[in-house]
């Protein structure tokens, strides 16, 4: 898997990534997209989302601070993206925590063709029909094999499923990749999960292999986090260094430091 080549291709093409995202981390997602090499746009109004997504290389939907009106805008943008073949990334933040979040996630997955679903273990398990405990947007526990649940969800939705955690899991229901890069300080900064979805959108915009796009995005983000953590021990300093390290990150460094395990779903 040539992650370095895909990273370089994304930086060369500078894809526009259309976000309909949450108010808490919108700035971080815009910055991370720009620093990685893409172009961010945060267009939420239902009156313009179809027009905007027509110019985009990818659409990222994040329900972190959802409202019913926002969901309607997501559906409008998603339908247009599906018509145009623009890849759609869904971050079902807090699915399972409330009825609104769970129902909205399921509606988006039913009415749209979602290409990549990125969530934590609890969000993924719940959307796959499994059992899990979630507190707010934090995954507490999952009953059962999360890799198996992710693969089942991927097959059911014909999507790539990304499960973020201490070890990231990426599957399309047939292939299974584990990413071991990353650092515990990522858990001390609000929005690292949202930022990873933005990077997935950047890479999905330049390849039809969405599993490869998701793996590349996570490796790139996590290697930048490792480099940042080597120079910062506190959360605020780590966040600042994370932005800087991603901006200056060389594809050859990513290739040298990637820790991935490729396999198949058993």
In the chain, what are the domains? Answer: 3-264 (3.40.1190.20)
Angle formed by the axes of helices 3-13 and 210-229, to 10°? 90
Cβ count within 10 A of residue 15: 21
Q: Is 88 left (phi over 0), alpha (psi -120 to 50) or beta?
A: beta
* pLDDT at 97 (0 to 100): 85
**What confidence tier does 132 reach under pLDDT thresholds 50, 70, 90?**
confident
Cα–Cα distance, 148 to 142 (Å, whole number): 12
The tokens describing 79, both together, are: 């339908």
Q: What is the pLDDT of residues 85-109, one digit of tens each?
A: 999 999 999 898 899 999 999 999 9
Pairing verdict, β 260-264 and 175-179? antiparallel
* pLDDT at 142 (0 to 100): 66
Cα–Cα distance, 101 to 67 (Å, whole number): 9
* pLDDT at 145 (0 to 100): 86
Statement: residue 138 has pLDDT above 60: no
Q: What is the pLDDT of residues 46-100, one digit of tens each?
A: 999 999 999 999 999 999 999 999 999 999 999 999 999 999 999 999 898 899 9
255: phi then psi, degrees, rounded to nearest 5: -60, -40
Average pLDDT, the chain: 94
Cβ count within 10 A of residue 168: 24
* pLDDT at 133 (0 to 100): 61
For the chain, give the secondary structure using H, E and C: CCHHHHHHHHHHHCCEEEEECCCCCHHHHHHHHHHHCCEEEECCCCCCHHHHHCCCCEEEEECCCCCHHHHHHHHHHHHHHHHHCCCEEEECCCECCEHHHHHHHHHHHHHCCCCEEEEEHHHHHHHCCCEEEEECCEEEEEECCHHHHHHHHHHHHCCEEEEECCCEEEECCCEEEEECCCCHHHHHCCCHHHHHHHHHHHHHCCCCCHHHHHHHHHHHHHHHHHHHHCCCCCHHHHHHHHHHHHHHCCHHHHHHHCCEEEEECC
* pLDDT at 143 (0 to 100): 64
pTM: 0.94
Residues 123-129, mean pLDDT to the nearest whole number: 90
Q: What is the pLDDT of residues 172-229, one digit of tens each?
A: 999 999 999 999 999 999 999 999 999 999 999 999 999 999 999 999 999 999 999 9
Please name every residue paired with 135 in a beta bridge, in sequence order, or none if there are none: 138
Q: Is 196 left (phi over 0), alpha (psi -120 to 50) or beta?
A: alpha
């Amino acid at each position: 898997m040539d992650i370095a080549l895909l990273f370089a291709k994304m930086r060369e093409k500078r894809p526009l990534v259309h976000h309909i995202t949450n108010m808490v981390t919108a700035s971080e997602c815009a910055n991370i997209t720009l620093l990685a090499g893409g172009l961010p746009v945060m267009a939420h109004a239902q009156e313009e989302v179809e027009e905007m997504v027509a110019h985009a290389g990818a659409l990222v939907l994040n329900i972190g601070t959802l409202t019913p009106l926002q969901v309607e805008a997501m559906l409008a943008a998603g339908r247009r993206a599906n018509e145009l073949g623009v890849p759609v990334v869904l971050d079902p933040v807090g699915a399972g925590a409330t009825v609104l979040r769970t129902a909205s996630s399921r509606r988006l997955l039913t009415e749209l063709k979602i290409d990549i679903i990125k969530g934590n273990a609890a969000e993924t398990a719940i959307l796959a029909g499994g059992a899990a405990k979630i507190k707010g947007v934090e995954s507490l526990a999952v009953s059962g094999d999360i890799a198996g649940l992710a693969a089942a969800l991927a097959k059911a939705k014909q999507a790539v499923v990304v499960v973020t955690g201490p070890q990231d899991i990426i599957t399309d229901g047939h292939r299974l990749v584990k990413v071991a890069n990353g650092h515990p300080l990522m858990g001390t900064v609000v929005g690292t999960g949202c930022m990873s979805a933005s990077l997935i959108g950047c890479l999905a915009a330049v390849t039809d292999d969405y599993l490869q796009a998701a793996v590349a995005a996570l490796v790139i983000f996590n290697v930048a986090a490792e480099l940042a953590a080597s120079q910062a021990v506190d959360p605020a300093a780590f966040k600042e260094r994370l932005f800087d390290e991603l901006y200056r990150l060389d594809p050859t460094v990513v290739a040298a430091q990637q820790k991935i395990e490729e396999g198949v779903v058993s």
